[in-house]
Structure 1
């Protein structure tokens, strides 16, 4: 499978379907097609419209499209995105609002690198902006990164987070969502030993696989059922000639998308059939519910092969984080070194990606962190997406996270040295 021909074959199939959709739309739009009433032409146009948009959006990074934010005194502030740190595999970006005083809450959102862009957290960002100064990790599509940029695995990911935290300073509050949870924990532990003054004030870990064996899901079962050799042979491909990263080995976004869709094939088939019907009736809109969801869902990115394979091997199979045996550049990262950073765990009761217990396992690793610095919350009835972007997040989890940030915003008190003259 590790051939550019295979990658280009998938891209050719996608491009062909996009072309067929555009061709159907163009054919149905000829004036002569309106000479006589023909419902088949309306259906052809609708099919073409939905098909073209579906396959076109798969290779386009969505815009952030952050609307103006209403802050104090009812004033609206436009949101301007600025790059704080620029690196080959991902940037640290800042959502600034000219004219608004800087918020006391400085939040770093660690976005997943799991097949979708950081824009998957758009609603999370929008919900935090009125009350926080928000930064986010904006990971790049591996297909666009030249081979000369080198490799990128879980250790490199961890060191990126370390650099971002150092850049933002110790008064930052880190919120990691899903896939990056264990690596964010490791990055904090790395700082605790290497540069304690650069540690964040608090760490909120939302629905991530710290210990995948704590509660099995289809994701963990898949990780245990296949060998690394099978994964490398069946999932890894080389970027084709169309992109700047030609020759780089990746886990293709289109392959990941096929896996996503196959898990709920009937649901997706129904959604697209209904959208074609709405388009034929003239009821579909550019930003209707279907398009808003699928514009993001279908926009996938390639992951570096090293990152994908090392995540499966070290996080899921070997459980390096769960066993407190994770290493970076040959040095062990001891989670027990975290002694001052407040840590909050958030899980969803109905999360079928990172089931309850997988993220909570982080607290058991923090052997030297006082119980007063630990907190957890299990959201009833919430699935994976709902714990960071849905109604459960907006109404219940977000207020808890802000309260946790406020409660741990003061600089941690240093331990007082023992009194040598004290009586034994």
Structure 2
């Protein structure tokens, strides 16, 4: 029960801070307070507003809020989110564009299960929708999944991806962002041996820890500095009575959020002080840069304990993917079996989560794949977030990914073409 009590204690602290912020804002907004204008009072009101907003966002899944896109006839087309495959631990979500008739590239975007919702890729989705028929893995918050649903570890995650790829068919192009990159590679290799006709056309891996030891970071150092027993003792808690998943063991999102913030504490502190000042001066608004970023950044989800622990143990500590020793349901998955799926890796030169060298290791694992079907891109000056969102993604990476997809499209669709000149057969040397 002490783990459940700890979970409830974190929620109590969060709830209390949300209440303090709301109460402070309400008190400072009394009409009587306006009788005595005071800059300090404006600052207190601003503190309450920013604090209430920050702590309330931590337990709410953000909406997708995908804006309309310009259709073939120049009119705005509404984008709908439809559940293609519903599941206990996650759904396969389809973004359907109203009135679209012309066939687009079929793309499966694999979102991370690493503490944030799939909506973290909202800007990525918006950038791809005009050119793609887009699907995404929408993982659920473990706190809301009843214990009766069973376990969910990295093997279950991999098999979910296998099912999604089978459902979408062989003309699909898969893009995996960050954490799911190694498991997406494994799912593709699994299909290569078990159901070759269901393999996707191409696989793009963006900033993923295929070989975490290829370029150590704080994340990999932490994984090696603690034992699995210590990790389970320190990080795993049981969901409290407030949620449907009561009793389920999880790695709490609030605990993960504290780790995220501690990595760049001074930056976050300055951002909130600046925002309080902006609110006090009337210069902030609902959709300003601060709110757009932190509304998403602070919205965290719990991960199933078995998924978190098996990720650390098998991906980071034992390096099963990097050593090509990964197994699913007792069967070894051989990356060398991938012989027809074109594979591209994308890395950022300033990525401090999955440093350059970690993701491109996938190309060396694909020993059965000819060099003509391998490609890599190293984005100069881009950090982890920048390689799938922001200017680096929009201006440089996205066009290259779409070119790579087109170069490996089904010939019957009439889109196949030679690989762009910017794409070269890849190895670790030309990505360094």
State the TM-score bracket (shorter-chain normalisation): over 0.9
Query: For each residue in 1:9-53, what CA deviation from the matched residue of structure 2 results, as whole angstroms up to 9, or x when unmatched?
Result: 000000000000010011111111112222222111111100000
Hey, what does 1:301 align to over in structure 2? 301
Q: Give distance in 2, aligned partners of 1:70 and 1:387.
A: 25
Is 1:10 matched with 2:10? yes
| Partner deviation per Cα, 1:272-315 (whole Å, 9 max, x = no partner) | 01111111111110100100000000000000000000000000
Contact kept, 8 Å, 1:201 with 1:411, in 2: the verdict is no
Verify: 1:382 aligned to 2:382, yes or no: yes
Assess if the C-alpha contact under 8 Å between 1:159 and 1:187 holds in 2.
yes
Superposition pairs for residues 127-146 of structure 1, below 5 Å? 127-146=127-146
Q: CA deviation at 1:67?
A: 0.3
Cα distance in structure 1, aligned partners of 2:2 and 2:129: 42
Give 1:212-291 correspondences, 5 Å limit.
212-291=212-291
- In the other structure, the counterpart of 1:20 is 20
SS in 2 for 1:137: strand
Contact 1:211 1:358 in 2 (8 A): yes
| Counterpart-to-counterpart distance in 2, 1:229 and 1:376 | 37
Counterpart in the other structure of 1:421: none
Q: Is the 8 A contact 1:103 1:131 kept in 2?
A: no
Partner of 1:53: 53
Partner residue, 1:40: 40
1:352 is paired with a residue whose SS is coil
- Write the deviation string for residues 370-412 of structure 1: whole angstroms up to 9, x where unpaired: 1111111111111111110011110111011001101101269
Give distance in 1, aligned partners of 2:268 and 2:239: 28
**Which consecutive unaligned segments of at least 5 residues does structure 1 have?**
413-424
Distance in 2 of aligned mates of 1:213 and 1:146: 36
TM-score by length of 1: 0.96
- Give, in angstroms, the shift of residue 149 of structure 1: 0.3
Quote how far apart the aligned CAs of 1:2 are.
6.0
Determine helix, strand or coil for the equivalent of 2:231.
helix
Residues 167, 2 of structure 1: alpha-carbon distance in 2 compared, 3 angstrom cutoff: farther
Moved more, 163-172 or 102-111: 102-111
Distance 1:41 1:56, change over 3 A: same
Q: Deviations over 1:206-261 (max 9, x none)?
A: 10000001001111111111110110000000000000000000000000000000
Q: How far is the alpha carbon of 1:101 from its aligned partner? A: 1.5
C-alpha distance in structure 1 between counterparts of 2:236 and 2:178, whole Å: 23
**d(CA) in 2 for partners of 1:214, 1:144:** 36
Q: How many pairs align?
A: 412
Q: Distance in 2 between matches of 1:207 and 1:39?
A: 46
| Rounded Cα–Cα distance in structure 2 between residues aligned with 1:80 and 1:142 | 25
Structure 1 distance, partners of 2:244, 2:411, is 45
Whole-angstrom distance in 1 between the partners of 2:151 and 2:184: 19
Can you give the 5+ residue segments of structure 2 that lack an aligned partner in the other structure? 413-432
**Where does 1:71-90 land on structure 2 (aligned, <5 Å)?**
71-90=71-90
The 2-side partners of 1:39 and 1:151 are apart by: 54
Structure 2: how far apart are the matches of 1:123 and 1:142? 24
Structure 1 residue 102, shift from structure 2 partner:
4.2
CA RMSD of aligned residues (A): 1.1
* Aligned residue number for residue 208 of structure 1: 208
The match for 2:428 is none
- Distance between the aligned counterparts of 1:270 and 1:96, measured in 2? 40
Tell me if structure 2 keeps the 8 A contact 1:25–1:45. Answer: yes
SS at match of 1:59: coil
The one-character-per-residue Cα deviations of 1:349-388 (angstroms, maximum 9, x if unpaired) are 1111101110000011111111111111111111111110
CA gap of 1:87–1:2, structure 2 versus 1, over 3 A, is: farther
Per the TM alignment, residue 72 of structure 1 is displaced from its structure 2 partner at its CA by 2.7
The answer (yes or no) to whether the contact 1:190–1:333 under 8 Å persists in 2 is yes
Equivalent-residue separation in structure 2 for 1:36 and 1:181 (angstroms): 58
Distance 2:157 2:102 in 1: 29
1:106–1:173 CA contact under 8 A, matched in 2: yes
Structure 1 stretches of 4+ moved >4 Å: none
